[in-house]
Structure formats: structure tokens, C-alpha cells
């Protein structure tokens, strides 16, 4: 893949979201995607200069995380059944300290939590639309969003959803992509509990009153490979590589490049890393541009937590993040982005930083 262009200047931070927290109502509405235009849908991948946007700069977690890459129409949700039991209780996700625009993330997450959790007898798209409308979303848009929820609605009689992370897939002045990474448990007609989960690329627009959700793009992954490679098996078995459901499905599919797998294994020798996005659930293009992302083609992964420390948390030592970013470059990444702009790369733009990457480290690989 050609070396990406220099990273543009940082866009101004965005305003408050349309779910008016602390106000009397919540508003989520709009009809367009990025900058008023519909962004390409994804099926599990996307990139940021490898991952850069047009602006510069295991157990469920409550710490915060564009269109996903295209794949076969197979749900990215990883599932397994176990005997009848009480569904795990979910904890509402809340943005922590250090978020540049927490309102946008809260708008995205609140909708996903509402769509992906329901009591017995409340399953189905129609009732999902009603749950979205209860947040203050106009009925027509609520119905549209419910119809886009895909595997998030599942087929269980009841379900519980836990957001693992909410990460930016892109953050510009008036538009944003929030990648909501989640686990989900549902109970089917036999009483068995199904373990699953997915990643949803939530698109938003900023209005005069805050942030409005405009579209949903749930991750879609390829089926598991019949003959997994040694690297695939090693990554899935490594306890220091924490993979959410959609990312684990990407690894199992065999569509993730060997360079990514080897870098994961090399980094896991030193760090315990929590991966947010690999292939599915990420925008197809660098957000706000027409440049293809490295994620959809299986040549990038994002890390939102290092050794138990969220990248977005101001209390996380900068030395830990910078050491991890340099280790990623040493592992072969041509394009490493994060909250710290590093110097001394092998090329002038090997390292980059912007508002989108203040909450995770992007690690991309060329062809």
C-alpha cells in the first residue's frame, strides 16, 4: 500500500450531542451521514490512513470507544450456547475523563444499549424501534435505525448487552463515527443462553441542540476458516491479547493479514492489550475522505487499553503509550497513530496523532 499522505490539521472539537444529559429530553435525529452525505457501508473494516481521519491530531468494561468493511452476509456476532441460566447483568457505559467529545459517544452508546437489550416478550424490530423512540428519537428515524441494527436484534426471547468500549472511527466538526464494541447474551426458546456480540459503526451529526444518530452499520465478518493458520491459532490462544467478539471473528475468518497477526503476537510478549477493532465494524474509508482504510482489508488493528490502562484516560502514563506505539512501529507497522505525536519514525509520517486517535492506538500495515 502506498505511503499515506501527511496528516491534515486537527479539526475543531465538536459540540454537545443530541441526547441532552441533564436536560429534560433526549434528541437523536437527522437524515445524512458524514457531512450530510451517506458514507460507504462497511462489513468489518475501514481505515484511518491506514487509519487517519481528515482531521489531525474480556470482561465487560465501562470505558469509552465509520462504516464497516464489506464481507459475506454473515453475522459478525460470535455465538455459543450454554445451559439455561440468568442473563449476565450489564452495566451502563459512561465516558471517562479525557474524552474530547463525550456527548457524541454517549448518544451512540445509549442507542445501542437500548436496541441490544430487551425483556422477555420485547424482541423484534418493531419493539426495538419503540425503545429507540423512547429515547426521544422521531418515530420515522427510530424505525429506520432499528431496521439497520442487524444481528444486534438477534433472535432471542430476551437479551442483555454490555458495551466494552466506545471508540472514534472518525471525529470532525459536524460529523462523527463512534465504534461501539459490545458483548451480548440472549436466551432462545429452549432456555439456553447464547454468548455473542458485535461492533456497530454509529454515525452521528451535530445539530444546534447536540449530537444526533443518523445511521448504524453493524459489523459483518466472513465465516471461520476451515483450516486456521498457526498464527491465527496462536493469537486466539494468547491470554495477553483481549479480543472482543467481532475482532475474534475476524481473526477466525482467516482474512486478517499475517503481518497483523505477527505484530499482535510480538506486542503480546511485552504488553497485555485490549483490541477494539480489527477488520469488521470499522469505516471503509478514512473518515471524511475517499481514501481506503487499512482495516477493511485486514491490515490494521486498534488497541484501546494497554496493561489495563485505557488509552483515553489522562491518568494512563504517557510513557506507557509512547513505548507501546514505538514497539508497534518496531513490529513492522508503517502507520502508528495515537494520542501522542511521536518523532523519529522510519518515515516522516510513520507516527501521527489527531482527535480521532486520542482514545486508541492504530497500528496499520502496508501491502
Alpha-carbon separation of residue 12 from 9, 64, 331, 340 (angstroms):
9, 20, 33, 17
Phi, psi of 127 (to 5 degrees): -75, -30
How far apart are the C-alpha atoms of 29 and 210, rounded to whole Å?
10
Q: Is the pLDDT of residue 57 over 60?
A: no
Looking at the DSSP bridge assignments, the partners of residue 175 are 205
Separation between Cα atoms, residue 362 and residue 304, nearest integer Å: 9
- CA distance linking residue 198 with residue 302, whole number of Å: 15
* pLDDT at position 173 over 70: yes
List the one residue out of 275, 282, 274 whose CA is nearest residue 298. Answer: 282
| Whole-number Å distance between alpha carbons of 235 and 179 | 22
CA atoms within 13 A on the CB side of 334: 15
| Mean pLDDT of the region 299-317 | 98
Mean pLDDT of the chain: 83
pLDDT of residue 79: 57
pLDDT at 272 over 60: yes
- For the chain, the maximum distance between any two Cα atoms, rounded to a whole number of angstroms, is 58
Instruction: Indicate the pLDDT class of residue 58, thresholds 50, 70 and 90.
Output: very low
* Count of H-run helices and E-run strands, the chain: 8, 12
Q: Which carries the bigger pLDDT value, residue 40 or residue 146?
A: 146
How many domains are there within the chain? 1
* pLDDT for 77: 53
Is the alpha carbon torsion for 152, 303, 72, 40 positive or negative? Answer: positive
Other beta carbons within 10 Å of 100 = 18
**What are the phi and psi torsion angles at 111 (to 5°)?**
-70, -45
Provide the residue range defining the domain that includes 203: 1-367
The burial class, CB within 10 Å (0-12 / 13-18 / 19+), for 89 is exposed
pLDDT of residue 167: 98
Q: Which pLDDT does position 137 carry in this prediction?
A: 96
- What is the tens place of the pLDDT at every residue in 222-261? 999 999 999 999 999 999 999 999 999 999 999 999 999 9
60 grid coordinates? 465487560
State how far the Cα of 9 lies from the Cα of 4, in Å rounded to an integer. 15
Q: What is the CA radius of gyration of the chain?
A: 19
- Residue 46: pLDDT above 50? no
Mean per-residue pLDDT, 271-295: 96
Task: Tell which residue, 203, 249, 232, has the closest CA to residue 71.
Answer: 249
How much is the pLDDT for 155?
79
pLDDT at 75 over 90: no
How far is CA 29 from its chain centroid? 21
Percentage of the chain beyond pLDDT 90 is 69
77, 80, 83, 84 alpha-carbon torsion, rounded to 10°: 0
Amino acid at each position: 500500500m502506498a505511503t499515506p499522505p501527511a496528516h491534515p490539521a486537527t479539526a475543531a472539537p465538536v459540540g454537545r450531542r443530541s441526547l441532552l444529559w441533564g436536560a429534560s429530553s433526549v434528541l437523536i435525529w437527522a437524515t445524512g451521514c458524514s457531512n450530510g452525505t451517506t458514507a460507504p457501508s462497511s462489513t468489518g473494516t475501514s481505515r484511518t490512513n491506514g487509519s487517519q481521519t481528515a482531521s489531525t491530531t474480556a470482561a465487560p468494561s465501562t470505558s469509552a470507544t465509520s462504516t464497516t468493511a464489506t464481507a459475506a452476509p454473515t453475522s459478525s456476532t460470535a455465538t455459543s450456547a450454554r445451559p439455561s441460566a440468568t442473563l449476565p447483568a450489564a452495566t451502563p457505559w459512561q465516558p471517562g475523563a479525557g474524552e474530547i467529545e463525550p456527548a457524541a459517544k454517549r448518544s451512540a452508546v445509549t442507542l445501542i444499549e437500548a436496541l441490544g437489550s430487551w425483556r422477555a416478550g420485547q424482541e423484534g424490530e418493531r419493539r426495538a424501534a419503540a425503545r429507540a423512540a423512547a429515547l426521544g428519537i422521531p418515530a420515522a428515524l427510530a424505525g429506520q435505525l432499528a431496521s439497520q441494527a442487524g444481528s444486534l436484534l438477534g433472535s432471542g426471547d430476551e437479551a442483555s448487552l454490555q458495551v466494552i468500549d466506545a471508540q472514534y472511527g472518525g471525529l470532525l466538526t459536524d460529523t462523527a463515527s463512534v465504534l461501539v464494541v459490545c458483548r451480548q447474551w440472549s436466551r432462545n426458546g429452549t432456555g439456553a443462553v447464547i454468548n455473542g456480540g458485535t461492533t456497530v459503526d454509529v454515525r452521528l451529526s451535530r445539530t444546534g441542540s447536540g449530537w444526533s444518530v443518523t445511521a448504524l452499520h453493524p459489523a459483518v465478518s466472513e465465516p471461520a476458516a476451515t483450516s486456521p493458520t498457526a498464527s491465527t491459532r496462536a493469537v486466539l490462544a494468547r491470554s495477553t491479547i483481549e479480543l472482543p467478539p467481532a475482532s475474534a471473528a475476524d481473526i477466525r475468518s482467516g482474512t486478517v493479514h499475517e503481518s497483523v497477526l505477527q505484530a499482535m503476537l510480538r506486542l503480546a510478549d511485552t504488553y497485555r492489550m485490549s483490541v477494539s477493532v480489527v477488520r469488521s465494524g470499522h469505516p471503509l474509508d478514512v473518515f471524511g475522505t475517499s481514501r481506503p482504510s487499512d482495516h477493511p482489508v485486514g491490515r490494521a488493528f486498534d488497541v484501546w487499553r494497554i496493561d489495563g490502562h485505557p488509552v483515553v484516560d489522562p491518568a494512563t502514563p504517557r510513557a506507557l503509550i509512547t513505548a507501546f506505539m514505538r514497539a508497534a512501529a518496531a513490529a513492522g507497522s508503517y502507520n502508528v497513530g495515537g494520542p501522542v505525536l511521536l518523532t523519529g519514525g522510519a518515515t516522516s509520517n510513520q507516527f501521527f496523532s489527531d482527535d480521532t486517535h486520542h482514545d486508541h492506538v492504530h497500528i496499520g500495515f502496508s501491502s
